[in-house]
Amino acid sequence: MGPRLTDRRVTVWSVALAVLGILLSWTLERGLQPVQAAPVSTATTTARLPVTSALGEPRQKYTPPPVPTPSPSPSATAPKATVKPKPSQKPTASGFRLRIPEIGLDHRMYGGGLSSDGTIDPEPRSIMWFQGYDRVRPGRVGTAVIAGHVASGSRRDVFANLADVDVGDKVQIVDKGKILTYRVTRASAINKYEVTTDAAVWGRNTSRSRLAIITCDDAFGFRGDGHRVANFVVIADRV
């Protein structure tokens, strides 16, 4: 027969086992408690898209327009057109002409859209009226955008003297022998970025026949890529 435990020893072991049971129960209970998830913010951050073109995104509600480059050069930023732009076409021997007698200009025009790099880029030594962004054919009610280069490389181009046009000068559209006369209401150099928000060029117009004639200008110097900072813009309304 083995040795008998005294009552005192039994009591000590009983207390120890009871304490161990309490600790084990407390530990298990703590381990089964659900972990509180870190709060997740429901706030979102709206990123502001950067300006991605020479003229930038519109700051008003106009459709973002492009600008002729390198001599006329609009953004346009990419701009999403309300009318799908058509690829530029080479000039044809049509009788559709632009005349500005004050600078001795009398030149054929052709219709064209955005070039492959998303700009208005007429053929050298030609004048293009822009098709897209709700712009109209010159002579119709609405605003017609007409673009040409001031220089191509080191050579003067069709709009080399456009900056000599003044308010009050006459502009003519010749269409199938019919002459439509316009009077210049504005002629000035403007930063290419600002052209995108120019209501006279890209704003809604359903009441008058207007011409917006655009080329590049040396007034504000040159950018790092060699393109001019400014456009020269002539606005003329039909009389």
pLDDT per residue as tens digits for the range 193-230: 898 889 999 999 999 999 999 999 987 788 877 788 89
DSSP 69-111: -SSS--BTTSPPPSSPPPPP------S-EEEEGGGTEEEEEEE
* 106 in Cβ contact with 99 (< 8 Å): yes
Residue 59's pLDDT is 34
pTM here is 0.63
Q: Does domain 97-238 have CATH number 2.40.260.10?
A: yes
Residue scoring higher pLDDT (91 or 8) = 8
Interior/surface letters 181-216, b for 16+ CB within 10 angstroms, e for the rest: ebebeebebbbbbebbbbeebbeebeeebbbbbbbb
Query: Which has the closest alpha carbon to 74: 89, 88, 86, 58?
Result: 58
Q: State residue 123's pLDDT score.
A: 93
Residue 25: strand, helix, or coil: helix
- Highest-confidence range of 19-33, 172-186, 220-234, by mean pLDDT? 172-186
Domain positions in the chain are 97-238
End-to-end CA distance of the chain: 132
Grouping H, G, I as helix, E, B as strand and the rest as coil, residue 199 is: helix
Mean pLDDT within 111-129: 92
Q: What stretch of H or E contains 222? A: strand 209-222
Of all residues in the chain, the percent with pLDDT exceeding 70 is 61
